[in-house]
A and B are shown apart, each in its own frame.
Chain A
Amino acid sequence: MKALLSLIILFFFSVSVLAQDLDIYAKKKNSNYELPFLNPQTSFEEFQILNRTLRMQDMVYAAIVPGYIHFKVKDPTLGYALLGARTSGYLGLYYVLTDNSYSLVELINNNPPNSANSADFNTQKNITYTALGLIIGSYLFDWIHGRHRLEKKQELIRYKYGMKLSLGFKPTQGFKQQAIPTIGLRYSF
């Protein structure tokens, strides 16, 4: 009984690991050979957007590459803006660290040393806060807004081609239907 309980618990945890989907997700080796059913009007960019999903690993990539999510969802203008924002954040931190007048902990905690010039300390503190705000803010914006953009773009594409497919079956309203009879076979198991 104990062994069974342990097995169930183990199984439960293994499922939650898969759900986390950090890098361990089931992918058939030959799934890249599966050819999708596409509307003839679909552009390559639309196809790419439909194919893309955001996973936990993208969250890690976005922490390393500024604007990664926006580049992935084909929104390069905002991606470059985020790249600029994050770079200026890093430059601000670089300035504070190379100046070496105060430690980062002192600046973040707003705890100036006794010998500190208060005006200079405040300036460096403001730079630190702004830099950290830019770095963290650009990362969160990249992730949250990027996800929103991807979902919106995918919805638009799915709506467009889904609706056209449905309208293809719609009975004609006074017009001569120029239907091209085609038959498709889908084999699945």
Chain B
Amino acid sequence: MRKLFFLFVIFAFNILGISQTLNTEYHYLALIKNQPKPVVKDNLRNAEMVADSLWLLPVENPHLAALYFMELGNNYAKIKQHEMAIFSFFRQRFFFPFDSISIYVENQIREQSLFLNLDKQQVDILLQKSNTEVVQENKYNALDPLLCWIIKFENKRIENHILHHLELMQQKNITPSKTLLKWQDLTKIGIKTRKKRAYLSADFNQLTYKQQSNYIKHLTKFFIRHKSWSRAKESLNQLNKIKPGKKYPALGLKTRICLKF
């Protein structure tokens, strides 16, 4: 009876040792890059979670982390998300610089930039800025310059990822530079990607009337979307200040604020 009891205990309890590590994630990325696209696409959400943790938390094996970002870039390249591929390769160069990996990644960046019609000079400058001798040792400080360069690509599909990384910076109590904060505001209120350049390069007073009114209208729409009616009214009043005497500016927005919808 006792024997039977022990046998029961042995069979009933399954001991499971699991070690899910960066090593696992790296090998999985390397394994699936030659497989059908749905398999690669399905893993990207998980891969980005690991990539975030590599920046947020201390990493014991930076060499493996560099290889991870390289493979992540290769995975994005496989499913033709060229902008994210470039972003991943640059994350490797900025966060975990290693000579041998950075040289391989440089070739990949040049190839991917062709698909995005990026200016060769711009890519060259960015590659110089991310050289292993130049780049900052501290990965926390390296994110700010990286994002500043990436926003210059003016690619809409990468905007959500940049916003996410800005949130990560704020989570880590790192204040982003003024350009990035301005870009964040412009993106959140919904200014078009191509038009942001003008807003970033000049002060509000230096902008043309059209640009100023466009900004105010987007800002008002942003407040309306968030049902902040008093703020929306305030921002719309600024339109009259820019060009007083103009009859019925943004009548549609005014109606929406009055009717609160």
Contacts and interface: CB of A to CB of B under 8 A. Distances in A.
In this complex, the member of B15, B19, B28, B43 whose beta carbon has the largest number of chain A beta carbons within 10 angstroms is B19
Nearest to B38: A156
Given A156-B39, A157-B42, A159-B39, A189 B12 contact: yes
A184 B18 contact: yes
Contacts of A181: 17, 19
Contacts of A3: none
A31 interface: no
A40 B12 CA distance: 25
Contacts of A178: 21-23, 60-61
B31 A163 contact: yes
Interface string B14-52: 111111111111011001000000110011011001000
A168 B49 CA distance: 17
B16 A186 contact: yes
Q: How large is the interface on A (under 10, 10 to 19, 20 to 34, 35 or more residues)?
A: 20 to 34
Given A156-B39, A160-B42, A182-B18, A175 B23 contact: yes
A105 interface: no
A188 B27 CA distance: 33
B13 A185 contact: yes
- Mostly, the B contact residues are helix
Nearest to B41: A156
Given A156-B39, A175-B61, A183-B16, A41 B46 contact: yes
B250 interface: no
A35 interface: no
A164 interface: yes
Given A160-B43, A167-B28, A176-B61, A185 B15 contact: yes
How many B residues are at the interface, by size bracket?
A: 20 to 34
A3 B20 CA distance: 59
B12 A187 contact: yes
B64 A182 contact: no
Contact of B21 (A152, A157, A177, A185): A177
Contacts of A163: 28, 31
Contacts of B15: 183-185
A24 interface: no
Interface string A137-181: 000000000000000100011011001110111101001111111
Interface of B: 12-25, 27-28, 31, 38-39, 42-43, 45-46, 49, 60-61, 63-64
24 contacts: A40-B20, A41-B46, A41-B49, A43-B45, A152-B38, A156-B39, A159-B39, A160-B42, A160-B46, A163-B28, A165-B18, A167-B23, A167-B31, A168-B18, A168-B19, A172-B23, A175-B64, A178-B21, A178-B22, A182-B18, A183-B16, A183-B17, A184-B15, A185-B15
Q: Which 10 A-B pairs have the closest CB atoms?
A: A179-B19, A184-B16, A167-B24, A156-B42, A186-B14, A41-B46, A168-B24, A168-B19, A167-B27, A178-B21
